[in-house]
Structures are given as structure tokens and as C-alpha cells.
């Protein structure tokens, strides 16, 4: 009878960092998805514009009337540039490109799903990020950001990624979930947003009952922005 040795779980700290090519691919995908989001928002208006050019191009006869003397400057190249043929071709190509992109993303998602990165916790265990992922980022719909580590293997700021750790060091508290939600969507965190987070934190702490006077310690008050 043969026995199978129990498998050993390895945390993220034991895994190799992504190669430069993989990291570049992740960055390019993020930029492409942001562009795709803008395209999605503007696509109805874009399709309307293409169809309008196509319809108006058909209505407009750019050929000269043989019974009328020529007047003004003729621009057959310009007229052809906005003609119905080009509009029809552009509409067909745009639709084909978008269909191809949707199909490619569907296939990529299906392939990635065969290598799950998250394991469902038991029903009676509260879901937590564990020891490898930032607790503050996790609060934003379980967003995964690895905890920032020192060269000696110790966390830079306990339980936090690099960005959240720097924010806490600068401001004295973890970034609020709404601020991280904006950052995770690709928004740049500007000084006004950071100041709003500080004001909100101050108001929430002032509203808590049973709080005595707290001695203020000298700390950095830098505005942490991305």
C-alpha cells in the first residue's frame, strides 16, 4: 500500500516575482481596459456618427451636373473621404474589431479560470486576506495587493501593501476603502482626495463616544498621492 505525502502550502513570499515581460503585459492590459472602458462609453455616439456620415453621404450627390457650368473649387478627394463607401467600411471594420476583442477576452477569461488564484474558504470561516495580502485593499471587494516586505523578510508596515503603508506612515491611519476603490479603478489620488480622507477620519474619530483626550504626537503630515 502506497501513501501520498501531504502537499505543502507555499505563501506568496516563496514565489518568484513576475518577469519583466509578464509585468509589462499586466500593465498593457490595464491600459487597454481603461481605453476599452472609454470606448464602451462613447461607442453609441461613435456608431451614430458613422451611420450619420453614411446616410448623409448617400443623400449628397457629389458628381457634377453636365448641364450646369462649374462653379467654385471641386474637391473629389475630400468628398470621397467622407463618402458613404468609407463610412460603411469603417462601420464594418469597427464592429469586426470589437467582436474580435470580445471573443479574445472571453477566451482569456476562460483559460485563466482554469488556474484559480483564490480558494473559497469554508462556510463557517470568515474570509480574510491571510498573511500575504494587504488588509486595507482587501476591504475593497477583496482586492489583492501583496504586503510590502523588507529585504530581511519583515513587513514594511504590518498587514499593508507599499501604497497603503506609505499612506498610513504619512497620515497616521489606513486609507479609507472609498479612496482605495478609486485607486484600484485606475484613478490618480490627488491632494484634494487625500485631504478629504483626513477630514473624514478626524470627524469619525471625534464622533466616537468614550474617547478621552489623546496626546498628539509629532508625526509626518505629508500628502500621500499616487
Q: Helix (H, G, I), strand (E, B), or coil: what is residue 149?
A: strand
The C-alpha cell that represents 10 in the structure block: 507555499
Q: What is the pLDDT of residue 97?
A: 95
Instruction: Judge if 169 and 197 occupy the same domain.
Output: yes
Alpha-carbon distance of 109 to 201, in angstroms, equals 38
Q: Helix (H, G, I), strand (E, B), or coil: what is residue 113?
A: helix
pLDDT digits (tens, 9 = 90+) for 30-88: 888 889 999 999 999 999 999 898 888 776 655 445 454 444 444 444 444 556 788 89
Instruction: Judge if 94 and 141 occupy the same domain.
Output: no
Specify the pTM.
Answer: 0.40
pLDDT digits (tens, 9 = 90+) for 113-122: 888 776 555 5
pLDDT over 60 at 15, yes or no: no
Query: Cβ atoms within 10 A of the Cβ of 194, count?
Result: 19
Number of domains within the chain: 2
First to last CA, the chain: 59
Q: What is the pLDDT of residue 207?
A: 64
Instruction: Judge if 109 and 30 occupy the same domain.
Output: yes
Which among 221, 218, 160 has a CA at the least distance from the CA of 194?
221
Q: Which of 41-45, 142-146, 161-165, 205-209 is the least confident region?
A: 205-209
* Domain around 144: 135-207
Amino acid at each position: 500500500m502506497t501513501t501520498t505525502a501531504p502537499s505543502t502550502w507555499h505563501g506568496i513570499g516563496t514565489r518568484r516575482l513576475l518577469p519583466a515581460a509578464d509585468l509589462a503585459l499586466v500593465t498593457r492590459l490595464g491600459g487597454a481596459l481603461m481605453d476599452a472602458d472609454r470606448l464602451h462609453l462613447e461607442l453609441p455616439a461613435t456608431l451614430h456618427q458613422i451611420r450619420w456620415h453614411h446616410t448623409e453621404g448617400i443623400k449628397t450627390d457629389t458628381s457634377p451636373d453636365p448641364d450646369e457650368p462649374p462653379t467654385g473649387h471641386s474637391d473629389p478627394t475630400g468628398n470621397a473621404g467622407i463618402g458613404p463607401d468609407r463610412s460603411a467600411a469603417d462601420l464594418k471594420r469597427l464592429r469586426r474589431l470589437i467582436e474580435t476583442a470580445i471573443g479574445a477576452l472571453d477566451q482569456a477569461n476562460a483559460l485563466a479560470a482554469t488556474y484559480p488564484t483564490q480558494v473559497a474558504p469554508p462556510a463557517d470561516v470568515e474570509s480574510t486576506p491571510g498573511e500575504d495580502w494587504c488588509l486595507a485593499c482587501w476591504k475593497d471587494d477583496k482586492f489583492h495587493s501583496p504586503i510590502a516586505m523588507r529585504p530581511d523578510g519583515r513587513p514594511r508596515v504590518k498587514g499593508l501593501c507599499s501604497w497603503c503603508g506609505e499612506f498610513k506612515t504619512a497620515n497616521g491611519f489606513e486609507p479609507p476603502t472609498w479612496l482605495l476603490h478609486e485607486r484600484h479603478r485606475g484613478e490618480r489620488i490627488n491632494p484634494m482626495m487625500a485631504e478629504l480622507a483626513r477630514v473624514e477620519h478626524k470627524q469619525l474619530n471625534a464622533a466616537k463616544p468614550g474617547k478621552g483626550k489623546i496626546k498628539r504626537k509629532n508625526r509626518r503630515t505629508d500628502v500621500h498621492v499616487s
